[in-house]
Structure 1
């Protein structure tokens, strides 16, 4: 047979359309290889489909994709042993822009009630991405159909193409030869480069991809395999391949969903925060695949950021993409996948917390800082709250407790969960706001990080228990609980002494001036001489500090000072005040109490005056003590 060549005009405004495809549709030029491999995988799937339908077609030709680079000709060739094309199919599928052979084939399969879910291409333009890197493409193809001749398609991607009926023997399949542009030879002109691109984008295509006689895609797409067939060692190996983390994950989550969106997912919870130095915070996200082909590395829409410690992949059958596959088209479906995956992850964490508290403690230690940012996930509020852990006045500082742990220990008629922001457990023992809770043996959750305040403000309650800052706890609710008896309790003030104490408070306000809103007698303090509270009670001291930092406000807020009328220091001040209301000791002590309280609250910017005052008081006290010793 003599070779016959015909010229055909493209059936579209090819100059304009190819310019859009090549320069606007794809942002990453290496995508051309992914598209061609995906098309080759489609062709192999179609061939397998036809063999299943008619076993007589099975000619035992191995199903595979071969990629090679010819250094002399500067060409890349992608070949498959798939279904091939007839002349008419070539003209229809690649002679007409945006005609999707795969989409048409799926439609035909649907008409016969058969399935081709593994087909990748749906838009018929991926082939043209080859022109991003080439100025000429030659396609040689032979259909599986009996007596169909081999066809050659040649075009520079401008105005026309040539079709040649080849007078040569050829097995069914297709080869695409890409003549690289001069400026693309250095970038893509090596088999090592091609291997890297395939490993990145097409590593999980189900057919062997051969480059230089070596199979490149050796890792199995575990997420597509039945769970009961997979061993734990396989999960761990896949996790190491994905993350390069030498330690196995705390937990593995492998699930398939059919509705409302069909997808498979394989997720892992690392044992440690992989961002060791906090310098790589943006390095997170789930790898998004469509039918085993990577669409986006580290997609940040699959899970909320507070679950960004999760590593893994999601592979969907249903996700509509725009024609480049690089930009997600339908955010509604992405939202459904995100919602389902978030619930699955939180449920898995709940299961770990319930069945293996020790493992969950490892998780919390590694990922708590990130996880706490989920306080704004109102759709999953209950699941999120169940997973929170805190240090507590009832724990040993090593074991963290949940809200439910707290609720199990509440006193009868207690309907509040109390919390306090503290710098450390040692600071909590000095915190005047917590004295009444120690005296009444009421548990308090300790918050150490600024985000903890936002967590409590967002949640506000848990299982009908209000979350209440210890700083502003309702005294009437606390009074119903019995206080522990103290040794050497102060003698109650007489009516006259109470009036003098009120006068002392007024004097202290006079001394401190605008530094305090007022000075008043406390109904809560028992051990500390004083405490500071916001006069309006609108927000806790810690939240107030956070807001000041956010607003770059370094000023010291004006607080109300509550003084403990039963404290020995205040009783000594009272005795001196009764003798001489203007005694220097009253002023020194007032200022010292205020600055000590500011220091405990974290507001004291300049401690020099406080240190000098302490030295002055120690000097005087030392003199008084020495005189007493002489008398003894």
Structure 2
């Protein structure tokens, strides 16, 4: 057969060089990754056989086999699973096209320590290439179940690889590592040593449902043929009693199914008995994956039926806003020949989803009191995702709100729950106040916050893009309306003694002429000009009318390709500010209308800038400011 040589892509060569000159502190993970890949191949073949998708495949003794040769310094990982076709080897192994290599390299450079770098191996799907940490050359021989031809892939990780079609090859995949020269001072990394191989398999792969076998080393008294030994227990952790499973075993299972090197933040066990039985073992990760918000993010937990693997990413078991949850669900009463279409209609699956969702939400809520540090980590990593459920899952909205926390003006360091916010509300305060923005600093410096700060009224500071949407969807909490401090006409007189109605009316009459004139003059840009009760320092601010979209939300919809008409906003003036008082006197004295017009335009543009917007006509704004400054120098 003809052997063809190909070049790796530039980023792939960079990745392989990193593996060869490894920066990883724990090289043992290469065997974990290869055994995990072999286990996945066996799962896929078993499922294909159950569905009659691989009628000619041999499934009589599915297993993983390890073979070490001290003299040749090779280590072989062999499985008789689904295998790969020539095209699949080219697509999945040859070019590293689907491994997220660029993102992997970027995050690797940003990793602050060796442990953080270790975790990136599995997370970005480049586990196969970790073999080059310990090998000078890697050979892969594979044949897809049911096909007659095989494929050999070989590379030294130096920029090229070869591909060859084979007339004969065993079903499955065989990966042979030609190990780097032995270091006599580093016995802990002798990967031809039986005890070392046993130790790695026990630590990382004991829970794998397929037997991992190895022929033991020959001893001086061993005269006969040696029988392969199974190195792993193959016990499904979710089916074992809780007191028989250590946290370390749970963590290793999570690392296997979550492709993560780090321990999970929390482990959740659930068992349902009765008319419909199932077991669930779920994990809350400690870190968000890099593609959590990407459109193609692969979400869902693994589905088993009577301990038979059925589906890698069963999206029907948890809602989208819990897509970060990893784990296993083992149902007793589903059919083995199940499809996504069947799952979408199955009432048992819907029952499982409701139960798992409530369990995850209650666990997150409990973390806030039982393990505040864990909760803080969870909320930092996944809070923005969880809040998506406030929009999409009305059935569990109260439970989601109970699990949420928000930054607040009450405490710069500790977030608050809505329950605690309501408990602290001042006498006469009827609404829960909030403001959305790009950052806490931007919100706190906004003119809209001035009166609330002056009166000591707590405001929630919401900085995630999803916050722009869920506050309108939820509307209220505990009978208290959720009220944006940047929308509508805010009346704070109920929260604290303020001006009398007579004083307000008199002030309104004094400014009526100016407000009417400015509303007419700025009519192309604003809906109305009115006096403000939310300003104490700034001369003006712009606000959205009640029920209208905020500028940030308008931009979000436009970014998604939706046409949104640009709504005019309201300009509010601070009647106690000297600039506004001077402008009102100038209007009453019928001074030069050109100068008044310029001042009105400047006032409006300054208000837009104060909330992070940009002038409608930047050049005109600069010219007006320059002229005004010139006259004051």
Smaller-chain TM-score range?
Answer: 0.5 to 0.7
Mapping 1:476-491, distance limit 5 Å: 478-482=492-496
In 2, distance between residues paired with 1:401 and 1:458?
A: 20
Q: CA deviation at 1:615?
A: 1.9
Contact 1:321 1:329 in 2 (8 A): no
Match in the other structure for 1:506: 516
The question of 1:306 aligning with 2:321 is answered: yes
Contact 1:26 1:324 in 2 (8 A): no
Secondary structure in 1 matching 2:486: helix
Contact 1:576 1:583 in 2 (8 A): no
Contact 2:431 2:483 in 1 (8 A): yes
Q: CA RMSD in A?
A: 4.0
1:291 and 1:527, CA in 2 relative to 1: closer, same or farther beyond 3 A? Answer: same
1:352 and 1:615, CA in 2 relative to 1: closer, same or farther beyond 3 A? Answer: same
Secondary structure in 2 matching 1:295: strand
Contact 2:305 2:336 in 1 (8 A): no
In 2, distance between residues paired with 1:425 and 1:205?
A: 46
TM-score normalised by the chain length of structure 2: 0.62
1:32 and 1:427, CA in 2 relative to 1: closer, same or farther beyond 3 A? Answer: same
The question of 1:362 aligning with 2:377 is answered: yes
Contact 2:257 2:327 in 1 (8 A): yes
Gaps of 5+ in 2: 1-46, 64-77, 82-143, 149-164, 177-204, 216-227
Match in the other structure for 1:612: 623
Match in the other structure for 1:390: 406
Match in the other structure for 1:527: 537
In 2, distance between residues paired with 1:351 and 1:551?
A: 40
The question of 1:590 aligning with 2:600 is answered: yes
Match in the other structure for 1:99: none
Contact 1:418 1:468 in 2 (8 A): yes
The question of 1:409 aligning with 2:424 is answered: yes
> Deviations 1:71-109 (Å, cap 9, x if unpaired)?
xxxxxxxxxxxxxxxxxxxxxxxxxxxxxxxxxxxxxxx
Contact 2:206 2:231 in 1 (8 A): yes
Partner of residue 576 from structure 2, selected from 566, 569, 582: 566
1:508 and 1:355, CA in 2 relative to 1: closer, same or farther beyond 3 A? Answer: same
In 1, distance between residues paired with 2:484 and 2:563?
A: 23
In 2, distance between residues paired with 1:499 and 1:368?
A: 48
In 1, distance between residues paired with 2:49 and 2:212?
A: 28
The question of 1:600 aligning with 2:578 is answered: no
TM-score normalised by the chain length of structure 1: 0.63
Deviates more, 1:399-408 or 1:269-278: 269-278
Match in the other structure for 1:240: 255
1:553 and 1:379, CA in 2 relative to 1: closer, same or farther beyond 3 A? Answer: closer
Partner of residue 436 from structure 2, selected from 415, 421, 424: 421
In 1, distance between residues paired with 2:290 and 2:208?
A: 30
Secondary structure in 1 matching 2:309: strand
Match in the other structure for 1:123: none
Mapping 1:151-166, distance limit 5 Å: none
How many residues were matched structurally? 452
Q: CA deviation at 1:252?
A: 0.8
Secondary structure in 1 matching 2:596: helix
In 1, distance between residues paired with 2:521 and 2:258?
A: 63
In 2, distance between residues paired with 1:329 and 1:285?
A: 13
1:535 and 1:363, CA in 2 relative to 1: closer, same or farther beyond 3 A? Answer: closer
Mapping 1:132-281, distance limit 5 Å: 133=146, 185-186=168-169, 188=171, 208=211, 210=213, 213=228, 215=230, 218-259=233-274, 261-275=276-290
1:291 and 1:504, CA in 2 relative to 1: closer, same or farther beyond 3 A? Answer: same
